[in-house]
Homo-oligomer: A and B are copies of this chain.
Amino acid sequence: MSGLFRFGISIDKNLLDKFDRLIREKKYTNRSEAFRDLIREELVKRAWREGKQVAGAITFIYDHHQRDLLSRIVDTQHHYQKLIISTQHIHLDHENCLEIVAVKGNSREVQKLADTLKSIKGVRHGTLSMSSIGKGME
């Protein structure tokens, strides 16, 4: 079951001061929220490692003048359409496009889709941003 809970942390004053400075820089307004985010980051890493249901974004750059490239990108996205929620397309300049594909599904399949998109000749840089489907991250 869910519900708010409170527990105590023992910490050396020196280390706490450093933590406070760190979270101020990262714009946190309270320690609990900073702490919860540290936990969530570990949980997300683990969900991806263990082949759980995840969400995320695949980001890549390409030159839209290469016509074959466009159709290869679209074909790949159709082949994996089960994983793809939507795609955002941005014209960075006359040549370069940034495409961001929002994905959700099994982490290993999402990884495979990211690899496939990145390996297409003409795709100049691809990254996979690993996030969560949100459940259990409250």
Contact = CB atoms under 8 A, between A and B. Distances in A.
A22 B119 CA distance: 12
Interface in A5-47: 5-16, 18-19, 22-23, 25-44, 46
A60 B98 CA distance: 19
A57 interface: yes
Interface secondary structure of A, over-half rule? mixed
Interface residues of A, number: 82
Q: Could you say how many copies of this chain the assembly holds?
A: 4
Nearest to A17: B136
B29 A134 contact: no
A4 to B, nearest CB: 6
Interface string A81-99: 0000110101011011110
Contact of A57 (B12, B29, B57, B93): B57
